[in-house]
């Protein structure tokens, strides 16, 4: 009997522990256990797991220690009990942090159920090198004279270890790209490091824990370098060596032994240099590897380097070195051939079934000197032949020269390609699927969103949007990944940011990129078209492109709730607005080179005025007002009251000038296009009394084009949002589901697996648009994903609840959808909205993360018949009925899973 009672008590205790709130997912600077932090006040965040509904944090306590077991001894910092519901972006405020040192932290919270949680699991972060003199390493370059094709240098250093290693940290950066090894094993899982930044002002270094990579006795470090973004032919036009002609390494290895002693191995004049199998490597051209020249074991201590050259010690600056916070490029999905075939021209082709960015790994056996060329393409032409004209001058070829004998495995090191198809030349024998594998490479950001519906074409569209992000978020947000471009176009990035924030955790990715935008911004405040800037000086200052300086920081603040992005970028935002003001006369921005509504619907031989041309200066005026409004928003958050007052006055003058210059007395815009009305309405350029008539004109325009959109890059992101705002959601659904050109689904009907640059990249007759500008992986039009998440699924921020502290669930039922399901990982945890029509009932299921509150908009005009988890809504004590509108009942609920069943009549 006593045993039964004890067992029952234990089981009850286990159940109670599981039911209690728990603290989980601790992050430092938004990263899990990061290395190389150089912020002296890193920010801490965590999430809660709670079984009970309406769980909120009331207080927290953080402890920071210098060892994993040091929490019961002398602490480096403790907050004590802090009365606050804040669980994200809490700054460290303890004793000064030291370079290279690892720190450990825990947190516990008090919830509104009267419970104190147990301490969380221990998390850690490690500081980077904080001052210039923390770098003992010297910059080194190869000591030999480089050949014209610039074979990738190999740099090596041997050293001895006669003690047991406790910990070891490697700090590495380069002019160019690097791949580093210790004793023949790759350091880390990153590619294309140190990444691409505004190299002359900001150069990242990476930090690696290499504690377990050494042997007792002789050891070796080997580093191979590639030109990458730093040098060689890159950018639009015949630009070469934009950042420099050298290729160089900075390497520092700090070792701590178990006896407490330390040692530092650095790049210096004692290193050796040579070349190996990689004979040339260029982002656009591809890579040439001659396996006959491979130096086997060159990164191991057994290798004989007596014939190698020395190195040159360089005096390049170290005061521009910065830690890496954005997630580096890593390997991801693998694809096996979907089809192997011969084209009408006799070309040997492999179809991997997905337009992806990365490379092909090849297994081959052949004769010494045999040359195999792999060419890459996104599409086939209408006859079924390999098509590469849209790559322009990018060769996009990898060439492998065999050593001969045993089976050999080839893949590039310092280049990548955008492709679905590859062409094989020089390959003898049968092409076997098992000998080829395509590997996707992109920045390793956490997947945060998913969106599925009952419509398979829409599901494919969502797939294409996701793969557009994957292919173009390769260390910077590029416009396209395949042709001789691959640049960080500001306009593309700003229109897609909000969608990107649903799909992936892009905060650190864009923090880094926005700092480069500010670094490359001109003294007059103008913003370059691409970031980092590799175009000529005159390439700057376009509306909708330069406005990335204001649009992205504000939307980052909304999505992630971190005020630091506004603090960091505020001067850049202000400089951009002041630049526009300096270019304006009578508050009208009517000069400068602007891209306008890029790639809008354009009819060739336009005899009847069907092309949707929107006045570029009308567009510029709208974005001028929008940037001023966002600057005002940021100034309010940061408490800059003088700026708020001054720019509010300016904003009214800009809007008054817009009305006078670009609208009639009855509210028609001078261009009378979809984009003109969309921008005027979305940016509130019109007075309240003229807005609905403008929306009516927009709807009429859409009907005039037989329910097709005609917008380009700048109008498309806001089109459906404006329609929904002004009671035309049904029309927005019709646009979304339109299958013929121009529409979002037209490329889907043409077997697209990514978003196209043009609405008709492949025309209905199978021919192509102009090859000079016709990418088939170009994410800008994927901005419709934002509307699908925020309106169709209904996941959004409520009011001032930045970072999803306050949530709005407001699904819109329409189109031919029977169900829509969307999940999103907010900074506080999983948020979901799933709706399904089931006969004469609408089922709405939503999950709200702990420590947040949600306002759920139930699509019905009456409380009658609404149930939640099988009970009458009015009987659910955790739910507060806030407001009843004409067709909406708004309820307030805290964390938990809610399942509503609502009377519903299907629209006919």
**What residues act catalytically?**
485, 757
The rounded distance, in Å, linking the Cα atoms of 849 and 894 is 8
C-alpha distances in Å from residue 6, one per residue of 10, 12, 16, 74, 288: 6, 10, 15, 38, 71
Q: Which of 550, 560, 563 lies closest to 638, judged by CA?
A: 563
Listed as own residue / partner, the contacts of 24-28 with beta carbons closer than 8 Å and 24 or more positions apart are 24/48, 24/49, 24/120, 24/121, 25/829, 26/105, 26/107, 26/120, 26/121, 26/123, 27/123, 28/105, 28/123, 28/124, 28/125
Closest by CA to 230, choosing from 149, 278, 175, is 175
| Radius of gyration for the alpha carbons in the chain, expressed in angstroms and rounded | 29
Residue 256, preceding bond cis, omega within 30 degrees? no
Using an 8 Å Cβ cutoff, are 627 and 570 in contact?
no
Cα angle value 769/772/776 (rounded, 5°): 60
Work out the burial of residue 520: count CB atoms within 10 Å of its CB; fewer than 13 is exposed, 13-18 middle, 19 or more buried.
Answer: buried
Helices 490-503, 456-472: axis angle to 10 degrees equals: 120
Residues β-bridged to residue 807:
797, 854
Give 230's contacts (C-beta < 8 A, 6+ positions apart): 174, 175, 176, 177, 199, 242, 243, 244, 247
Residue 606 DSSP one-character state: -
Cα distance between residue 321 and residue 200, in whole Å? 10
Region of residue 63 (phi > 0: left; psi between -120 and 50: alpha; otherwise: beta): beta
Give per-residue burial for 292-324: e unless 16+ CB within 10 Å, then b: eeebeebbbbebebeebeebebeeeebebbbbb
Largest CA distance in the chain: 95
- Cβ–Cβ under 8 Å, residues 400 and 410: yes
With CA atoms as reference, report the closest residue to 195 among 155, 224, 229. Answer: 229
Is the separation of the CB atoms in 60 and 82 below 8 Å? Answer: yes
Which residue in this structure is represented by tokens 């300096």? Answer: 582
Secondary structure element (H or E) that encloses residue 169, with its range: strand 165-175
């Amino acid at each position: 009997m006593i045993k039964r009672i004890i067992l029952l008590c234990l089981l009850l205790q286990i159940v109670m522990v599981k039911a209690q709130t728990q603290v989980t997912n601790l992050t430092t600077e938004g990263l899990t256990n990061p290395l190389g932090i150089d912020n002296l006040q890193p920010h801490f965040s965590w999430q809660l797991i709670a079984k009970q509904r309406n769980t909120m944090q009331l207080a927290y306590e953080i402890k920071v220690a210098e060892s994993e077991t040091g929490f019961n001894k002398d602490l480096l910092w403790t907050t004590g009990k802090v009365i606050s519901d804040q669980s994200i972006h809490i700054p460290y405020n303890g004793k000064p942090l030291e370079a290279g040192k690892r720190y450990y932290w825990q947190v516990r919270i008090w919830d509104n159920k009267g419970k104190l949680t147990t301490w969380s699991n221990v998390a850690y972060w490690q500081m980077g090198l904080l001052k210039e003199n923390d770098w003992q390493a010297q910059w080194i370059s190869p000591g030999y004279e480089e050949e014209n094709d610039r074979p990738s240098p190999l740099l090596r250093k041997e050293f001895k270890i006669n003690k047991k290693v406790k910990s070891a940290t490697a700090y590495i950066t380069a002019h160019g790209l690097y791949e580093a090894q210790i004793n023949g094993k790759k350091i880390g899982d990153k590619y294309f490091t140190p990444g691409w930044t505004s190299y002359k002002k900001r150069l990242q270094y990476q930090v690696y824990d290499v504690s377990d990579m050494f042997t007792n006795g002789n050891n070796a470090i080997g580093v191979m370098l590639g030109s990458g973004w730093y040098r060689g032919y890159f950018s639009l036009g015949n630009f070469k060596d934009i950042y420099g002609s050298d290729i160089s390494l900075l390497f520092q290895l700090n070792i701590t032994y178990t006896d407490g002693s330390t040692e530092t191995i650095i790049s210096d004049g004692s290193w050796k240099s040579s070349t190996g199998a990689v004979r040339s490597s260029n982002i656009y051209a591809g890579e040439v590897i001659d396996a006959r020249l491979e130096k086997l074991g060159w990164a191991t201590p057994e290798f004989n380097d007596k014939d190698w050259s020395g190195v040159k010690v360089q005096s390049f600056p170290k005061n521009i070195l910065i830690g890496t916070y954005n997630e580096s490029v890593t390997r991801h999905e693998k694809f096996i051939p979907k089809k192997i075939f011969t084209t009408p021209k006799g070309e040997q082709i492999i179809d991997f079934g997905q337009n992806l960015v990365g490379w092909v790994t090849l297994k081959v056996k052949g004769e010494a000197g045999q040359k195999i060329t792999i060419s890459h393409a996104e599409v086939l032409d209408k006859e079924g032949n390999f098509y590469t004209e849209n790559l322009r001058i990018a060769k996009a070829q990898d060439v492998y020269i065999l050593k001969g004998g045993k089976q050999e495995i080839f893949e590039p090191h310092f280049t990548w390609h955008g492709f679905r198809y590859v062409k094989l030349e020089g390959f003898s024998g049968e092409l076997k699927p098992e000998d080829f594998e395509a590997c996707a490479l992109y920045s390793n950001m956490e997947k945060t969103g998913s969106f599925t519906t009952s419509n398979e074409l829409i599901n494919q569209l969502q797939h294409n949007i996701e793969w557009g992000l994957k292919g173009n978020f390769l260390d910077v947000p590029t416009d396209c990944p395949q042709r001789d471009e691959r640049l960080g176009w500001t306009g593309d990035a700003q229109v897609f940011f909000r969608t990107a924030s649903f799909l992936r955790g892009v905060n650190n990715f864009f923090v880094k990129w926005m700092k480069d935008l500010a670094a490359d911004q001109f003294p007059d405040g103008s913003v370059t078209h691409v970031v980092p800037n590799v175009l000529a000086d005159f390439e700057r200052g376009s509306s909708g492109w330069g406005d990335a300086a204001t649009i992205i920081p504000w939307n980052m603040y909304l999505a992630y709730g971190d005020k630091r992005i506004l603090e960091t970028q505020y001067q850049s935002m202000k400089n951009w607005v002041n630049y526009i003001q300096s270019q304006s006369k009578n508050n009208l921005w009517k000069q400068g080179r602007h891209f306008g509504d890029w790639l809008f619907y354009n009819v060739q031989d336009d005899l009847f005025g069907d092309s949707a041309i929107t006045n570029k200066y009308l567009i510029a005026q709208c974005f001028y007002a929008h940037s001023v409004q966002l600057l005002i928003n940021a100034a309010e958050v940061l408490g800059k009251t003088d700026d708020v007052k001054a720019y509010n006055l300016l904003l009214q003058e800009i809007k008054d000038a817009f009305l006078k210059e670009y609208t009639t007395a009855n509210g028609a815009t001078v261009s009378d296009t979809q984009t003109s009305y969309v921008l005027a309405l979305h940016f509130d350029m019109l007075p309240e009394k003229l807005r609905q008539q403008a929306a009516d004109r927009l709807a009429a325009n859409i009907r005039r084009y037989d329910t097709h959109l005609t917008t380009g890059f700048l109008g498309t992101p806001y089109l459906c949002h404006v329609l929904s705002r002004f009671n035309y959601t049904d029309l927005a659904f019709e646009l979304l589901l339109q299958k013929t050109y121009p529409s979002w689904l037209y490329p889907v009907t043409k077997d697209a697996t990514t978003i196209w640059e043009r609405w008709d990249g492949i025309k209905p007759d199978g021919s192509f648009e102009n090859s000079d500008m016709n990418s088939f992986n170009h994410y800008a039009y994927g901005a419709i994903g934002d509307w699908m998440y925020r309106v169709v699924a209904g996941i959004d921020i409520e009011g001032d609840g930045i970072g999803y502290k306050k949530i709005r669930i407001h699904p819109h039922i329409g189109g031919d959808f029977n169900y829509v399901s969307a999940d999103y990982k907010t900074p506080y945890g999983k948020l979901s909205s799933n709706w399904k029509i089931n006969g004469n009932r609408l089922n709405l299921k939503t999950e709200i993360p702990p420590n947040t509150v949600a306002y759920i908009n139930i699509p019905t005009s009456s409380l009658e018949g609404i149930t939640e988890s099988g009970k009458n809504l009015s009987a659910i004590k955790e739910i507060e009925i806030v407001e009843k509108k004409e067709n909406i009942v708004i309820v307030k609920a805290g964390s938990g899973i809610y399942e509503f069943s609502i009377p519903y009549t299907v629209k006919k």
